[in-house]
Amino acid sequence: DPAHIALFPHQNEFRNTLSLSGMWQFKKDSMEVGEKEGWQNGLTATRSIAVPGSWNEQFTDSRDYLGMVWYQKETYVPSSWKGQRIFIRLGSATYAAKLWINGKPVGQHEGGNLPFAFDISSAVNWGAPNRITVQLENMLKPSRVPTGNVPGSPFTNYPKSNYDFFPFAGLHRDVWLYSVPAVTVIKDITVKTTFTGTTGSVEISVLTEGKASRGTILITGNGKKYEAPIRFTGNAATTTLSIPDVRLWSPEDPYLYQVDVNIGDTKTTLDHYTLETGVRTISANDKQLLLNGKPIFLKGFGKHEDFPIFGRGTANPVIVKDYSLMKWVGANSFRTSHYPYDEEYMRLADREGFLVIDEIPAVGLYFHGDTTDLAARQAMCKQYINELITRDKNHPSVIMWCVANEPFPKEVTLAGSSADRSATPKSIDLFKELFALVKQKDNTRLATLVGAMGGPLEWVGLGDVMCINRYYGWYSHAGDMAGAARILGLEADALHKRYNKPIIYTEFGADTYPGMHADDPEMFTEEFQANFLKMYLDFAQSRDYITGMHVWAFSDFKTGQGIIRFGGMNYKGVFTRDRKPKAAAHYLRSRWTK
Ligand code: GCB
């Protein structure tokens, strides 16, 4: 039930948490015999592995291994939790996971980068250790999202992912045990904000399980308190609070109000949850993005969750450092390319005032070939949209949902030329379905799809804002910046004229080997990268319908092996993989902090 992931585990007077991050026991199962042999009843001959973390860079013998593995950890459940409902929550298990508690199956989940939780109350041992077992694999398949092992794919890298970033595998985020009240519990909270003049308006909807009849909403902030009672009809209640002289949320002043939800019966409070909200609106006209009704230009990056040895595993110091560096260069925005990021990333975006394009893991989608696979990918995209919006809907930082990055029609090549640039009617219908689902789940934000160079413009035109990735001067017009600038302008003017919607360049960049230099800028040198970015940013300034520029990429990142990825790396970062600035970072800082 994806509703279980709506509220992040929370420690307060009604709820408890216990982090299971740390060392776990690990064992490969390349013959896939584990379940038959009963490994869920206890693993033998294990080695230690860190959680969170990808397994690929922790061991010397497992970089390209994506097959079946097992994780195990033992823990006591605190006796003070007795009588409560107990859940296990995995922040991200890439890709297909199956769980047992004390040998008892408790659930399974497909899809990385998003959390899932299972009620394990009936499987827990009291006053004794509990064995937690996770079976996991990340096999690349055409039926999965993101896709891999696709027949006829333009990608030639190994492992055979349909995208360039390394398909890291493992328990990538924190694992929590948590407890909530056994009978009456807050299941979900949805906060929607707007304002008129100087008065803010915060609509709060609460969903419960059990028998709450009433409750209170308390908003605290800017030295004031606002309180409203709520009454439940069945398990739902909604109220709207007014905040006079509201302090709006924005990158310049990312002010957060605290929202306390209490529910109960006529006599007592039975559950309590606290979250933060920022009062703001987001919209678009034909040329610009509007934050709180005023035009805003996005300056920032496409990123990855990627760091040496951690792989795609959460590394909290890296999250903090990345925001610090993004502020240092004067960025105000980023895209969670090409999958949802750790929830700590999202909370920090709220606090630090970043505008986020929040993307599902739909990269490398395609529409030819096996129709059963196509249907499976579409179902997976819908699952991701459901899970992502359930997880991230209360973050003021999130301004836009992105349903795909660089889907391609048959025969598009990486250089952006395509034998068949047209979008089939079927593919347009499928994307329309995804956009409709996004709007049905959240009508307060914008929706987009990121189009590839050479890809069908009909797909891009479906978004509220048109997001495109362009590499003129790199994959085409290599080294020829004047030629690149010409085609960039011609193409953008035609695209805006055709759909009359604002454009964001969600990617543009050049591979740059740190320390490589040239007097007259030449590909792969630091001077070329700075010059390349300058051309694109100058161009953006010359068009009033361009409303954001995201450099590809924030930092260098690991890829699979292939001839266009020297040393198994994408070097388009303006920071190195370990976050040292290249000349381009200093250039952006000089331009963006003015
Ligand atoms: C793209 C992809 C991104 C790649 C990038 C590149 O268009 O969206 O994932 O890393 O190009 O560097 O080729």
469 lines ligand 1 (CB under 6 A): yes
3-state secondary structure (DSSP) of residue 295: strand
Is 2.60.120.260 the CATH number for 21-173? Answer: yes
- Strand partners for 243: 200
Q: What is the pLDDT of residue 140?
A: 98
**Which of 580, 565, 504 lies closest to 536 in space, CA to CA?**
504
Judge if the beta carbon of residue 405 lies within 6 A of ligand 1. Answer: yes
93-94 vs 175-180, strand pairing mode: unpaired
Amino acid letter for position 148:
G
Name, in order, each residue with C-beta under 8 angstroms of 60's C-beta and a sequence gap of 6 or more.
Answer: none
Query: What secondary structure, in 3-state letters, does 20-41 show?
Result: CCEEEEEEECCCCCCCCCCHHH
Q: Which two tokens stand for residue 180?
A: 């909530």
Q: Which residues pair with 551 in a beta bridge?
A: 301
- Report the first-to-last Cα separation within the chain, whole angstroms: 48
Q: CA 219 from chain center: how many Å?
A: 28
Sign of the CA dihedral running 472, 288, 340, 438: negative
Nearest 10 degrees: Cα torsion 487, 493, 497, 503: 100
Q: Alpha-carbon distance 398 to 195, whole Å?
A: 18
Give the CATH class of 185-277: mainly beta
**What is d(CA 532, CA 510) in angstroms, rounded to the nearest whole number?**
7
The strand pairing partners of 273, in sequence order, are 261
Q: Whose CA is nearest to atom 10 of ligand 1?
A: 164
- Please list the ranges in the chain whose pLDDT falls under 70: 410-421
Task: Say yes or no: CB of residue 155 within 6 Å of ligand 1.
Answer: no
> Given phi > 0 = left and psi -120 to 50 = alpha, else beta, which region is 208?
beta
pLDDT of residue 152: 84
Cα–Cα distances (Å) from 409 to 142, 424, 564, in that order, read 15, 8, 22
Distance between CA atoms of 110 and 471, rounded to whole angstroms?
33
**Helix axes of 343-352 and 316-328: crossing angle, nearest 10 degrees:** 30
Closest CA to 553 of 535, 533, 531: 533
Q: Distance of alpha carbon 129 from its chain centroid, rounded? A: 34
Residue 417, pLDDT score:
54
The angle subtended at Cα 1 by Cα 264 and Cα 237, nearest 5°, is 30
Rounded distance between C-alpha atoms, residue 541 and residue 154, angstroms: 34
Question: 497-526 burial, b for 16+ CB within 10 Å, e for fewer?
Answer: eebebbbbbbbbbbbbbbebeeeebebebb
The verdict on the CB of residue 552 being under 6 Å from ligand 1 is yes
DSSP letter (8 states) at residue 495: H
* Ligand 1 atom closest to residue 453's alpha carbon, by position in its atom list: 7
Tell me the C-alpha to C-alpha distance, in Å, between residue 205 and each of 191, 192, 461, 511.
Answer: 7, 9, 33, 47
Cα–Cα distance for residue pair 551/389, rounded to 1 Å: 25
Q: Is 161 in the pocket of ligand 1 (CB under 6 A)?
A: no
> How many angstroms does the Cα of residue 394 sit away from the middle of ligand 1?
29
Name which of 492, 447, 498 is nearest 469 in CA terms. Answer: 492
Active-site positions read 406, 507
State the distance from the centre of ligand 1 to the C-alpha of 164, rounded, in angstroms.
7
Give yes or no for residue 173 CB within 6 A of ligand 1. no
pLDDT for res 418: 52
Residue of 156, 162, 163, 164 to mutate, ligand 1, most atoms within 8 A of C-beta = 164
Cα–Cα distance, 425 to 39 (Å, whole number): 48
Q: Does ligand 1 have an atom closer than 6 angstroms to the CB of 570?
A: yes
Q: What confidence score (pLDDT) does residue 2 get?
A: 75
| Contacts with 27 (C-beta within 8 Å, 6 or more apart), sequence order | 34, 39, 43, 45, 46, 47, 69, 70
| Eight-class DSSP state of 592 | H
* Options 3.90.330.10, 3.20.20.80, 1.25.40.10, 3.40.50.11810; CATH of 282-592: 3.20.20.80
Task: Residue 86: count other Cβ atoms within 10 Å of its Cβ.
Answer: 23
CA max distance for the chain: 77
Q: How far apart are CA 43 and CA 352, in angstroms?
A: 43
Query: What is the number of the ligand 1 atom nearest to the C-alpha of 450?
Result: 8
Residues 549 and 557: their CA atoms lie apart, in Å, by: 20
Parts of the chain belonging to CATH 2.60.120.260: 21-173
Candidate from 334, 363, 570, 577 with most ligand 1 atoms within 8 A of CB, to mutate: 570
Measured in Å, residue 293 CA sits from the centre of ligand 1 at 32
**Where in the chain do CATH 3.20.20.80 domains reside?**
282-592
**Cα–Cα distance, 243 to 276 (Å, whole number):** 15
Radius of gyration of the chain (CA): 24
Atom of ligand 1 nearest to the CA of 559: 10
**Which residue's alpha carbon is nearest to atom 4 within ligand 1?**
164
ipTM of the complex: 0.98
State the closest ligand 1 atom to the C-alpha of 557, by its place in the atom list counted from 1: 10
Find the 47 Cα to ligand 1 centroid distance in Å. 35
Q: What is the pLDDT of residue 154?
A: 84
∠ CA 209-212-213 to the nearest 5 degrees? 140
For 166, the token pair is: 């390394």
The ligand 1 atom at the shortest distance from the C-alpha of residue 405 is: 8
Nearest alpha-carbon partner for 560 in 65, 172, 136: 65
> Measured in whole angstroms, how far is the alpha carbon of residue 214 from the centre of its chain?
35
Cα separation, 130 vs 103, in Å, equals: 10
Residue 18 contacts residue 75 (beta carbons within 8 Å): yes
The residue whose C-alpha atom lies closest to atom 13 belonging to ligand 1 is 164
Domain(s) of CATH 2.60.40.10: residues in the chain: 185-277
